[in-house]
Amino acid sequence: MSDRVASSPGLLDSVVRIGRFTAVMYKPHYVLYGVLWVLALEGTAALVSQPDSPWRPTGSTVLRILVVAFVLLYLRMVDEQKDLDYDRVHNPDRPLVTGAVTATELRAAMTAIAIGAITASITLSAISALMIAAVLAYGLVLWGLERLSVTIRTDILVNLAVTYPVQLLVTAYVILSAADTGTVRATGKTAAVALIFAGAFLQFEFARKISRTPRPDENYYSNTLGPIGSTAFGLLCAAVAVLTDIVLVQPWTYPSAQAVVAWIPVALLLLPIWGALKFVRGTRPDYPVLPAVLFILTAYIVLVVQAFTLT
């Protein structure tokens, strides 16, 4: 009995520290991103694969949102550990660096999240459980690869090529799970929807790691592609996202009122263009991230509106 009482405060302290870590490293806008990602992805996949059937979120949609939200926290915990050496130099205030949380506590929380995510997903379908297990496993594989390979750790383009597939796996989880629960149909168009989300995310990913000032000790895309090359690639990614949406949704096939909604993504390109112009014409060393954030969040909101109004 005394051992049980003695261990309870330690467990409680660990839970509190994990809670504080989550509050610091998993801000509300990350949760908002996860919610919009699932809604926009599922809704757009339904719109392009079965446009004659109305799409509305279901209980399965809510469960997918919860799973993705927790899995994103799991991946954040993986990043905190695999980036520890880098953070000791460049982000000394991170919780793992300061000792506000321990690696053992993070791994215990990751185990709990993994069990919960797989258990929740298996109630949707076997494919859902397998796909989310693949996401969780890939996060660990990335951790191992970065520890083993200096190139993967230090070459940002190689690192992107190796790490970005985890985003594709989450996208595949949502689409395949939605197909298994009857929300969408598995077609070529459904698979092509992934390009919208890849383009939107990558324009944001590049925007946050561009500077006109050389940063040889930091992982910036501008170190390799230059500030203009990195800016151009970010704009290209945004254009791919919008063009893919237009090709799949086909605004010209809708009546005028609905067509206006379907064409809105084209106008959203003004946001990354605005960010690029501010950077190229301005004097500040770092690329402005706000337009990229607004583009990805607004685009996802518009995609949800399209799914509601065009089906």
Please check whether residue 138 lies inside any domain of the structure: yes
CA-to-CA separations, 32 to 73, 174, 206, 293, in angstroms, rounded:
13, 16, 20, 12
Assess whether 173 and 262 both reside in one domain. Answer: no
The pLDDT of residue 195: 97
Please check whether residue 93 lies inside any domain of the structure: yes
Structural domain of 180: 9-186
Please check whether residue 2 lies inside any domain of the structure: no
- DSSP H helices in 250-289: 256-268, 270-281
Pick from 240, 246, 160: nearest CA to 205? 160
Final residue of a domain: which of 135, 158, 186? 186
Assess whether 52 and 159 both reside in one domain. Answer: yes
Assess whether 224 and 287 both reside in one domain. Answer: yes
252-301 residue pLDDT tens: 999 989 999 999 999 999 999 999 999 999 889 999 999 999 999 999 99
pTM of the entire predicted model? 0.91
Determine whether 292 is exposed, middle or buried from the number of CB atoms within 10 Å of its CB (0-12, 13-18, 19+).
buried
Q: How far apart are CA 301 and CA 307, in angstroms?
A: 10
For the chain, how big is the Rg over CA atoms in Å?
21
The helix, strand and coil proportions of the chain, stated in percent and rounded to the nearest 5, come to 80, 0, 20
Please check whether residue 3 lies inside any domain of the structure: no
DSSP character for 289?
-
Please check whether residue 1 lies inside any domain of the structure: no
Assess whether 63 and 97 both reside in one domain. Answer: yes
Assess whether 16 and 148 both reside in one domain. Answer: yes
Please check whether residue 126 lies inside any domain of the structure: yes
Assess whether 32 and 168 both reside in one domain. Answer: yes
Please check whether residue 123 lies inside any domain of the structure: yes
Assess whether 165 and 143 both reside in one domain. Answer: yes
109-148 residue pLDDT tens: 999 999 999 999 999 999 999 999 999 999 999 989 988 8
266-280 residue pLDDT tens: 999 999 999 999 999
Assess whether 114 and 213 both reside in one domain. Answer: no
Give the chain's domain count: 2
Assess whether 49 and 135 both reside in one domain. Answer: yes
The domain spanning residue 73 has which CATH number? 1.10.357.140
